[in-house]
Amino acid sequence: MPFDRRQFVTALVVSGAAAATPTGIKADPSASRPQASSQASLPNPQNATVDFRYAPHHQQSTICFPDDPRKTIVGQAGDLRYGFGKSLSAGMENFSTVIEFSLAGFQDDKVLRQWIESPSIPIVHTLIDRPAATLELTAFATHHVGEGRVDNVLLSIRSKTGSVALVPKLHIRTCEKLELESYTTPTATVSVSGNKSPLLVATQLVSTQLNSNLGTCMLWEEEGFTLYLAHAEATEDAEARYFVRLPQENQSAATLREHLPDAEMLLAEARDFWSKWKPFGTTEWSYPGRHGEFLTACARNIQQAREVKNGQLVFQVGPTIYRGLWIVDGNFLLEAARYLGYDQAADEGLRSEWSKQVDSGQIIAGSGGEHWKDTAIAMFTLVRQCELKQDWTFFRDLEPNLVRALDFLINLRDQAMKSQSTNGHYGLLAPGFADGGIGGVHSEFTNTVWTLAALRAVADAAAQLKMSSLAKAGKFSRELYAAFQQMATKEMVWHPAGFEYLPMLAHDDPSVSDPDPWSRPRPQTAQWALSHAIYPGEVFDKNDPIVRGHIALLQWCTQEDVPAETGWLWHDSLWTYNASFAAHVYLWAGLRDWAHRTFTGFLNHASPLYCWREEQPLQHALVGQDWGDMPHNWASAECVRYLRHMLALEDGKSLRLLNGVTTAELTPAVPYILRNSPTRFGRIDLEFEPAGARGWRLRFDRSEGPSPSSVSLPAVVGQLRVQEVIGAGSKVTGEIVEVDPVARKWETLLR
């Protein structure tokens, strides 16, 4: 079925408990109200440990190779999931074939643990407990020479006490008609009726330590199909082992049977591939502890989700619902790709985005036509990619495309002003699809606020490059910004907690005054676009009431260390990687403690396999559901971005260093190193490492590029104070150390 995010609301059963919300309480613009101050620090510092305390209860991961078109999914019980169908009414478990691994008998399975061998090796282990034995599943992908792409599961059963008889069973839920094509004790081949390639082949790996008579295999139609493998015996010292193989390229049964006895060889081959895989390209990172683990895993997640389609490399968001190109997700995925050093791949991904432009100048991808902001976001992405690459060739090549995109957005504003809509009355873009919890077409502000970010970026680039054809971007930017600010004075809402904020829906939208509180959007619904306009869009001044209200709202709705109820699941739920949007706003605004708390909360909502579900219930919720893809790689991109920005954050024409470093990053004393990391000011090397018993040293080196207007770092990092800067002039202004921005190489000691 055709799919886009506009279907979310109509297909979604919104979960949670209704709460009194201030949405719809309109502020009197003439009234003088105190502005709530943003909390610069937390009165009760949170536990900074990353221990997956908020991990999703229903999780899945992938075992495929980079850019692999076969996106095999492994579920939380070690099950294999195939054939995802994009029908939202069927939910997140909408797979046409699911294969579950267990043991026969009346005992229940209990999953004790699931893990991958390392952040860089996606071989998934699942340990299942039975009263009499344990079953370990090892799922991995292979591409053996002459054999092709195959999924593999190794079953290892060990007795808890003495010797036990056992029969493994594979429960297959599928819409297809299956048959036991053939078996030669103890090997079975299961096929879909009429298919030449089997669904799977399975065998018992015979051990001389086991006394087994190698019985036969059976396929029964039990709530689907259940394959009972040949029985065996297991002891505490000797495992019973079985090997299951599933062809992914229509291989014959004979091809797969050839290496059925070679499970260990194939497993070693998979480990060898991933041990040689490199998470970074032209850049180099060295981060300690959990930060380093997440960095490597997120790089792998992003590569596993990519795919070549129609000859173009696409940075896809995920392997199921979002197995495609979304422009807003792509902006952050491509920035993360550039940070990871995937320069050529980022170029290809950028071309893929602009291939979605239609004759009108609009760019239309996964989010549909009324997601007007996609056109603006593609413009913003183009500027960001060119400045990171320090090469504006693609920007110049796409000049005609940019002009058409700009004309499309101007026309959207002009046509709206001729209509009777609230947006037109204010001089904003036409009513559109807000996303982030608001479906359908409304009088909303997300499309306009993202367009402001794009216009600012394009206008600055056009002025720098002296491209007169794009001069209209600056004029349109000023007009739209003035209209937006005028709108904000009338649409700001007074919150009972003592601050004003700007909702993303106009006050006269029917949903705002729905008589059922359960059905009203939350105050924080769809605020994602405003977060982006604040950073990285940098549309507003840090002291703008819109910014101050947004920060106060994010702090107010924080639960489990992250903003809650910000997405499609309005009640007792959270949008996991929205936490990174908030963390970036805090970091940019100088709220280091809030940034650190929120980013740590974001990491703690990942699974122990280092990936995220898009949305999930709060831990205490008695209602709620999982929503969205997993692994969700906008989340992976957000992790990469924040880890870079905590050390080096571009703030307009300023470069801010170590702004995200807290005492937690200084314990234990292990270096953070960035090399050849791209910025709009050229590539930088940054080494932040222990120096002596109670000190740290920061070394900085910048390649050729436009000089920033300022380079700064906090005077106090954790409990360390910056000492003399060596190799460059410097001065202390309040709690900020400013370093001569022209100096490309210098170092400083912190004690």
Q: Give the domain range for residue 660.
A: 654-750
Q: Before 319, cis peptide (omega within 30)?
A: no
Across 359-418, where does the E strand assignment appear? none
C-beta neighbour count of 224 within 10 angstroms: 16
Asked whether residue 325 falls in the same domain as residue 404, the answer is yes
The predicted model gives 326-334 an average pLDDT of 96
pLDDT in the model for residue 86? 64
Confidence of residue 28 (pLDDT cuts 50, 70, 90): very low
Classify residue 560 as left (phi > 0), alpha (psi -120 to 50) or beta: left
Residue 7 confidence (pLDDT): 40
Q: What's the pLDDT band for 47 if we cut at 50, 70, 90?
A: low
456 and 362 in a single domain? The answer is yes
Q: Is residue 205 part of a domain?
A: yes
Mark which of 601, 626, 646 sits at the end of a domain.
Answer: 646
Domain boundary among 587, 621, 646: 646
Per residue in 397-414, pLDDT (tens digit) is 999 999 999 999 999 999
Torsion-angle region of 517 (φ positive above 0: left; ψ -120 to 50: alpha; else: beta) = alpha
Where is pLDDT greater, at 231 or 424? 424
**Same-domain status, 667 and 608:** no
Return the pLDDT at 9: 33
pLDDT of residue 35: 36
Interaxial angle between packed helices 633-645 and 592-604, expressed in degrees from 0 to 180 and rounded to the nearest 10: 150
One-letter identity of residue 567: G
Same domain? For 642 and 572 the reply is: yes
Q: Is the pLDDT of residue 33 over 50?
A: no
Please give the structure tokens belonging to residue 8. Answer: 């979310």
The helix (run of H) or strand (run of E) holding residue 207 is none
Q: What is the pTM of this model?
A: 0.93
Of 597, 582, 668, 496, nearest in space to 43 by CA: 597
User: What is the average pLDDT across 558-572?
Assistant: 95
- CA–CA separation, 113 and 128 (whole Å): 7
378 band by pLDDT with thresholds 50, 70 and 90: very high
Query: Looking at the structure, do residues 271 and 318 belong to the same domain, yes or no?
Result: no
pLDDT of residue 527: 98
CA torsion 569-574-580-585 (nearest 10°) is 80
Among 597, 616, 646, residue at a domain's last position = 646
- The reply to whether 59 falls in a domain is no
Split at pLDDT 50, 70, 90, the class of 612 is very high
CA pair distance 736, 750, nearest whole angstrom: 13
CATH of the domain at 243: 2.70.98
Write down the pLDDT at residue 561. 96
Residue 19 pLDDT level (bands cut at 50, 70, 90):
very low
**Considering the domain boundaries, does residue 61 fall inside one?**
no
- What CATH number corresponds to the domain at position 572? 1.50.10.10
Give whole-number Cα distances, 308 to 165, 268, 624, in Å. 47, 28, 36
Tell whether 62 is covered by a domain.
no
Give residues with Cβ within 8 angstroms of 622, minimum separation 6. Answer: 17, 572
- Which H or E element spans position 135? strand 133-144
* 547 and 483 within one domain: yes
- What average pLDDT does the segment 318-334 reach? 93
pLDDT value, residue 166: 92
Domain assignment of residue 17, yes or no? yes
Asked if residue 406 and residue 320 are part of one domain, the reply reads yes
The reported pLDDT for the residue numbered 17 is 28
Strand partners, 203: 187, 243
Q: How would you class 277 by CB atoms within 10 Å of its CB: exposed for 0-12, middle for 13-18, buried for 19 or more? A: middle
Both 425 and 535 in one domain: the answer is yes
Residue 42: predicted pLDDT: 53
Is the pLDDT score of 2 beyond 80?
Answer: no
pLDDT reading at 11 higher than 70: no
Find out whether 652 and 538 touch, Cβ atoms under 8 Å: yes
Q: For position 448, what pLDDT does the model report?
A: 98
Confidence at residue 34, expressed as pLDDT on a 0 to 100 scale: 31
Tell me: the pLDDT tens digits for 218-272?
888 877 899 989 888 998 888 999 999 999 999 999 999 999 999 999 999 999 9
The band of 94, judged by pLDDT with boundaries at 50, 70 and 90, is confident
Per-residue pLDDT at 222:
75
Q: pLDDT, tens digit, for every residue of 617-672?
A: 999 999 878 889 999 999 999 999 999 999 999 999 999 999 999 999 998 889 99
pLDDT value for 218 = 87
Instruction: Using DSSP, state whether 422 is helix, strand or coil.
Output: helix
Residue 60 domain flag: no
In the Cβ-directed half-sphere of 410, how many Cα atoms lie within 13 Å? 16
User: Is residue 574 in some structural domain?
Assistant: yes
Domain contains 491: yes
Distances (CA, A) of 388 to 32, 343, 352, 394, 633: 44, 10, 18, 12, 21
Cα maximum dimension of the chain: 88
The label of the residue with tokens 């440990």 reads: 49
Domain count, the chain: 3
H/E stretch holding 303 reads helix 289-305
As to burial, measured by CB atoms within 10 angstroms (0-12 exposed, 13-18 middle, 19+ buried), residue 455 is buried
Report the C-alpha gap between 74 and 140 in whole angstroms: 10
pLDDT-derived band at 185, boundaries 50, 70, 90: confident
Return the pLDDT at 214. 59
pLDDT, position 22: 41
pLDDT of 468-522, one tens digit each?
A: 999 999 999 999 999 999 999 999 999 999 999 999 999 999 999 999 999 999 9
Residue 43 has pLDDT above 60, yes or no: no
Tokens of 614: 């898009």
**Residue pLDDT, tens place only, 340-355:** 999 999 999 999 999 9
pLDDT at 1 over 80: no
Question: 435: closest CA among 389, 504, 489?
Answer: 504
* Torsion angle of the four alpha carbons 415, 416, 421, 427, in this order, in degrees rounded to the nearest 10: -140
Instruction: Say if residue 715 is in the same domain as residue 627.
Output: no
Say yes or no: 371 and 400 in one domain: yes
124 plus 158 within the same structural domain:
yes
Lowest mean pLDDT among 90-104, 526-540, 598-612, 666-680: 90-104
Q: Please report, for the domain that includes residue 734, its CATH number.
A: 2.60.420
Average pLDDT taken over every residue of the chain:
90
Per-residue pLDDT, averaged over 13-38, amounts to 34
Angle at 225 between CA 220 and CA 226, to 5 degrees: 65
**The pLDDT of residue 26:** 41
Q: Are residues 525 and 536 in the same domain?
A: yes
